[in-house]
Structure 1
């Protein structure tokens, strides 16, 4: 999830663990702990693109990290804070660290909660930024913040924030199932033969859902809103996997395919090849758009002949245009 949401979640968890003992300091340390796992993005400054993608939401989002560093930070804080309960501080940092990847596991990228095992949990029920999850959470946290630390109202507000946000997460599983069912019906009604289907919410909401459908030679992409009145339409994007036949045995290419979980297409513009990760969809809802959220140019080193990937920059104009398109599409086709 986005940094603000993780800060709010960490603060609420910190309050639940030590709010009665240390007041707003519990929220402060919880908020700090809620952001620490995302420091793995620093890896992008020191490693190649493929390695940075593998590291993202890896070790720092694992149970191992939550346990080990809860002791480290718990010891550090208990050394200089007036409240010396080592166990209490460890509990605060553990739960703030642990709830971070649990929340991230609901997004499309997912988390390696069980690192070092190569298993990434990705429920794909919520977008990385969702106001319906975050805004109510912030409101109740602010209400709690301005109450006395021993006040029953403070505990009530904080619990309500946690309860409402958790209930919304549970609801997203139901919404995902309903959307998945609608996509399956549409494929059946249109006599589409496919091997697998993947669904996820569109940006900023859980009313509009996206689907990727794999067929023999192409992927079908589609959108469905709960307010739709017309049949779902699928747009075909050829796999073009044969374009990277020369790199089929290349280690970095194999790692990139693994990262995408096999949901990728290859496109070509003039002599340049691009690797398109389909799991995150498109930056446009216009028909036959080629503006993928995550697109990487495939480049070959002239000396070593090895390949490397470069993520293509995103145009802010595309983002603004997408927001307008999303609002119209959410209201139905």
Structure 2
């Protein structure tokens, strides 16, 4: 019995040492990356760099077709790791916003410095497109497009030296809505490309920038022509809301989630993010919420203070979900 307790004590001490070493390493890495980001951001205010605000200047693969199921080739861009080693790279997938109708896969300037900071630490950034709604709403296809992007990453991981077990997703606005649905739903949900359906769509974590997570809260009374046409095409609104509300898919196995949302958002109610946060807590899914104070939705006029808090929180979240 004494030998048993002695061995147990040795195992526990070893486990504690390993835990502290990993935890300490991530604290140090967080501190280093936050300072590197601040330095990069300040440098770019003085002199533009190739790895600065404009990520498109250092893109490695542009308009890679990941599928074509509807007569519309869908493409993605790849920004490879800037770290020179042979280890498979963790992946951050970016999904653009635009009210499901507009937008493209160009990465916003507000996100470029922090994403390039990750590239310097060994991450690959992938920015994807999805089929935009034109004459009618087709959320099913759009969610399937995001899941098929993830499946494509699994399929092509060796070609681009990326680690499919280390995929995080950043979605903005409607892109966050689609990303949450893609990440929370099961692998057998939202199938489009049959050749990709045999691959996994599992991700490790999700970052939600002001996503409409409760469609019941959206104000659809004062929309432009395009959006009015889209929402008027929905005949059974209750069924659509039930199927495409990310909160309906949350469970204790859901990927870790970081929610970033302004309490003064003029387009998507901040309440929806609070509801998602509360649902994750209720279901014992890991979640964090960062509240911004700018009157901003799409990051276009975000304040420097909010850029700082957003970036630091994002850096910490990714690192503590990271293999680095």
What is the TM-score when the length of structure 2 is the normalising length? 0.24
What is the TM-score when the length of structure 1 is the normalising length? 0.23
Going by fraction, where is helix more abundant, 1 or 2?
1
Tell me which structure has the larger Cα radius of gyration: 1
